[in-house]
Structure 1
Amino acid sequence: MSRPTTPVQPRRPGDPEPDLTIYGIAHLAMRHGAHELATLAQTLRDGAPLTPARAKALAEYVRLMTEEIHLHHHGEDTIGWPIIQASAGHAVDLEPLTADHDQLDPILDRLRGASALLVTRPDDPAARQTLATDSIVLRDLLDEHIEEEERDIFPIIRTYVSVADFKGWEEQIMKNYPKKNLWFLIPWSVSAVPPADVPAALALTPLAFRLANRLFSGRYRRFHQLIFG
């Protein structure tokens, strides 16, 4: 595990706790996206029609979603986990979560490959089967991984990581995220929040996040409708 790029100042008792709102929304989005994809992939495996436009949009959705999952976990491994380790020391064991991340990457690669093949060969049975099988594996692994992370790691972050260090973690993650994909990332994330909870959740996010969601929500809604109906 690498060291933080800047010195870490662990949270002291009585200091404010980091706000994990956006972190939690990212988790909701990954789980919701994986569940949606698994449900759709089962219908495709069973013979549902796939028009050229829908196949192209599906491949783009899978690319964007799997890229977000990879970047999220890579950011944890290279930015977040070193901060937690430096702040909490022996109070936490991050190796099982890192192992999960390593297990995810080949699944993401296969999903991208299968969905890309369906653009040129929309009726290919092997590609449809791969998409169905691996989307279920992804769904189940993410559910288990994220539940474990929120149960075991979120309390560690709140207890040991300072607000400043956590903010730096979030800023580094966003700095590394491709800006051309923000039209997808932000409304995709918000769409996973239960509708009744959206106003309260958005109120806890930065103004730039709320403005981007408003700006891109229409484009994302049309994109999503083409794929999932």
Structure 2
Amino acid sequence: MTRSTIAPSTRTASDLPGLTNQADLTDQPGLTDQPGPTDQSGPTDQPGPTGLPGLPDLTAVRLSHRAILVDIARLASLLSAASAPAMPLARAGAVATYVHRYHAAVRHQHRGEDELLWPAVAAAAGQALDLSSSAAEHAALGRLQDSGDEAAARFAEDPARHAPGLAALLAEQRDRLIDHVVAEEQRLFPVILHRVSAARYAAAEAEFRRSTPSDLAAWMLPWLWRYASADERRVLPPAAVVEPLVAAYAAHEARTFGHGR
């Protein structure tokens, strides 16, 4: 159900998961004192996110989660602003296109988690991991994104009339995404680090990358590059591949938000 009023999130950027680089989840209670069974398939000498051998590198999924959360907050803020109904049609069209591409990126991330990443984790963790709640949340968010796409198309045609409806849907999605990502990272990341080999997790991530359609990758790569630190960019394709795509994304971002970063 869509909220009747739009309130800005009380969380700040520092409260969001993935916004601090490379958190060491091995410090969580119980993860080092009493190790459980670990997945020993394949080599385990690759450095993980803490620089320790054998730990899966969670940089890519943390980066994706950060981009998802920061961008939905930006979009919700943009559409809830008093100036949103007065947007020129050209800019409203840019906003609608950005919403559509953002939603495509989120759907792809969630599909990859459901079909590739989390099943690899479950195969290693066995009965210790129940993925049903994560998949159900992804499905519910997908329905909300479908409604958001429809609202964005209406907003592009008549901003004055449809800004409130799109703003409400984006605000609801912001709040639900924050809750979802916080819970997912708290529940799954310790399991990944404790029970999945670096090799198995890296193989699942590589398959996920290969599953990205080329047209979506042309938008997602500069989008992720925008949010990545210099060190985190090592998990993305080389600069020679990404940088030619950056100008088009940056121009679209500027038309959407009215400024750069």
Deviates more, 1:147-156 or 1:181-190: 181-190
1:58 deviates by 1.2
Distance 1:141 1:212, change over 3 A: farther
Alignment TM-score, normalising by the size of structure 1 = 0.84
Structure 1 partner of 2:218? 183
Tell me the amino acid that sits aligned with residue 199 of structure 2.
A
1:161 deviates by 1.9
Structure 1 partner of 2:242? 213
Structure 2 partner of 1:17? 55
Query: Retained in 2: the 8 A contact 1:25–1:190?
Result: no
User: Are residue 76 (structure 1) and residue 123 (structure 2) matched?
Assistant: no
Q: Return the alpha-carbon distance in structure 1 between the equivalents of residues 238 and 187 of structure 2.
A: 27
Structure 2 partner of 1:35? 73
Distance 1:41 1:47, change over 3 A: closer
Query: Retained in 1: the 8 A contact 2:85–2:159?
Result: no
Structure 1 partner of 2:87? 50
Residues 48-197 of structure 1 mapped to structure 2, 5 A cutoff: 48-124=85-161, 127-193=162-228
Q: Return the alpha-carbon distance in structure 2 between the equivalents of residues 49 and 34 of structure 1.
A: 21
Q: Return the alpha-carbon distance in structure 2 between the equivalents of residues 73 and 86 of structure 1.
A: 18
Distance 1:136 1:182, change over 3 A: same
Query: Retained in 1: the 8 A contact 2:78–2:84?
Result: no
Deviates more, 1:150-159 or 1:115-124: 115-124
Alignment TM-score, normalising by the size of structure 2 = 0.74
Work out the percentage of aligned pairs sharing the same amino acid: 27
Unpaired stretches in structure 2, ≥5 consecutive residues = 1-37, 45-53
1:112 deviates by 0.5
Query: Retained in 2: the 8 A contact 1:57–1:227?
Result: yes
SS of the residue aligned with 2:230?
helix
Structure 1 partner of 2:22? none
Q: Return the alpha-carbon distance in structure 2 between the equivalents of residues 75 and 149 of structure 1.
A: 14
Count of aligned positions: 211
Structure 1 partner of 2:232? 201
Distance 1:57 1:51, change over 3 A: same
Tell me the amino acid that sits aligned with residue 97 of structure 2.
E
1:166 deviates by 1.6
1:94 deviates by 1.9
Unpaired stretches in structure 1, ≥5 consecutive residues = 1-8
1:209 deviates by 4.4
Distance 1:94 1:136, change over 3 A: same
Q: Return the alpha-carbon distance in structure 2 between the equivalents of residues 149 and 83 of structure 1.
A: 15
Query: Retained in 1: the 8 A contact 2:56–2:192?
Result: yes
SS of the residue aligned with 1:111?
helix
Q: Return the alpha-carbon distance in structure 2 between the equivalents of residues 92 and 115 of structure 1.
A: 37
Tell me the amino acid that sits aligned with residue 199 of structure 1.
A
1:164 deviates by 2.6
1:30 deviates by 0.4
Q: Return the alpha-carbon distance in structure 2 between the equivalents of residues 210 and 25 of structure 1.
A: 17
More helix by share: 1
Query: Retained in 2: the 8 A contact 1:11–1:163?
Result: no
Tell me the amino acid that sits aligned with residue 187 of structure 1.
P
